[in-house]
Structure 1
Amino acid sequence: MIILSNLIFIFCAYLVGGLNGAILLSKLKGWADPRSLGSKNPGATNMLRLHHAQAASAVLIFDLIKGTIPVYLAYFLHFAPVEIGFIGIAACLGHIYPPYFNFKGGKGVATGLGTLLPLGMDMTGLLVLTWLLTIAVSGYASLAAIITAIAAPFFVAYIKPEYIVPVSMLSILITLRHGSNIRRLLAGKEKKILNWKQ
């Protein structure tokens, strides 16, 4: 019975994760599907490029919250650390493969960060600082996401090591989703966040 309830909770986290903020906002506003324009990634960065900062901020907050809520609920229901970790991964998989949008979603960065917020302000601060510093130095949103994802397991190893396995899995998942970005970065063809339209 316990295993079944855990699986149901994981599946519900996947369904919540599938609610893509960029796609929903675009439908609400009558905008084109963000998967068809710009970087074709339905996330906050592409919404900034296609529209404006307010739209990007709304998408970012939405995608953060949908990752945070299932993890917080699991924590308060006294799920084991590994179970909480898999619930977070399920939310990210929902964002990446949304059942409501033909299983074509984003790269899971904001949702992944949202799942890590319940680990504490120290973890959150380190992740946000890593992302901001990488953006400031390089100007590449994709590189910032990759470096932050890779750094996450190292941070959690010192802060809450009981979550090292699921956080490492999440890190690998997000990094793999940036495979095309990595190839463009190595080839010098990746677009910087502020000169996408130049």
Structure 2
Amino acid sequence: MLPLLIISAYLIGSISMAIIICRALDLPDPRTQGSNNPGATNVLRIGGKKAAAATLVGDGLKGFVPVAIGQYLGLETQALALIALGAFLGHVYPIFFGFKGGKGVATFIGSLLALSYFAGLAFIVTWLFVAKVLKISSLSALIATLLTPLYFYLIDGDIEATFIVGILCLWIFYTHKSNIKRMLSGEEDSIKS
């Protein structure tokens, strides 16, 4: 059953909400505008707050729903973390869009909220605090991501699941490598008020 749930999570994750919402609202393809990334931050640049919010919620649900289904079926935390990994990989490497997807933060947050609500909440609070102080979305995501395995372990105590969450967090750093380069050169965009 677990392999089927992981594959299903991957397929759900492969549905690009940014592309679907931009098409529905007659906006440019997010893969060809702004940062060329099909994620909520880029949709904000090209389509405004409502389109970005819809993308954020949709991408979050892609992570939340598969993990919540696994919970409903009574799976253990390690299995749920593997389902979260499947959804995340679907978002980053979507089979329906040439394996070129977004950076995975919203899908990760959604799966984290289902996996460990308080760890997910800690991620969100950290992101909001850092964003308020430093005004850089990608840096806020990376700092929250860096702290997430610690949050997860302190709240859940499952070392195997924490290891899988740690892999997800490392992958988020990998998907943000271009942002990290821009931050180091002082070229990363700040959050507009």
Q: Distance in 1 between matches of 2:122 and 2:81?
A: 19
TM-score, normalisation: structure 2:
0.95
Q: What residue in structure 2 maps to residue 194 of structure 1?
A: 192
**Residue type at the aligned position of 1:144:** S
Q: Determine if the alignment matches structure 1 residue 46 to structure 2 residue 53.
A: no
Identity %: 38
TM-score, normalisation: structure 1:
0.93
Deviation at 1:170, TM superposition (A): 0.8
The 8 Å contact of residues 135 and 144 in structure 1, kept in 2 or not, is answered as: yes
Q: Which runs of 5+ in 2 are unaligned?
A: none
Could you tell which deviates more after superposition, 59-68 or 157-166? Answer: 157-166
Q: Which runs of 5+ in 1 are unaligned?
A: none
Q: What residue in structure 1 maps to residue 141 of structure 2?
A: 145
Q: What residue in structure 2 maps to residue 185 of structure 1?
A: 183
Task: Choose from 67, 70, 74 the match for 2:70.
Answer: 74
Q: Distance in 2 between matches of 1:174 and 1:116?
A: 13
Q: Distance in 2 between matches of 1:46 and 1:185?
A: 17
Alignment of 1:155-166 (within 5 A): 155-162=151-158, 163-166=161-164
**Residue type at the aligned position of 2:81:** G
Deviation at 1:9, TM superposition (A): 1.1
Deviation at 1:50, TM superposition (A): 0.9
Q: Distance in 1 between matches of 2:115 and 2:2?
A: 20
Deviation at 1:118, TM superposition (A): 1.7
Q: What residue in structure 1 maps to residue 15 of structure 2?
A: 19
Q: 3-state SS of the aligned residue for 1:41? A: coil
Q: What residue in structure 2 maps to residue 36 of structure 1?
A: 32
The 8 Å contact of residues 119 and 160 in structure 1, kept in 2 or not, is answered as: no
Q: Distance in 2 between matches of 1:38 and 1:123?
A: 31
The 8 Å contact of residues 17 and 58 in structure 2, kept in 1 or not, is answered as: yes
Q: Distance in 1 between matches of 2:165 and 2:185?
A: 29
Q: What residue in structure 2 maps to residue 110 of structure 1?
A: 106
**Residue type at the aligned position of 1:31:** L
The 8 Å contact of residues 22 and 51 in structure 2, kept in 1 or not, is answered as: no
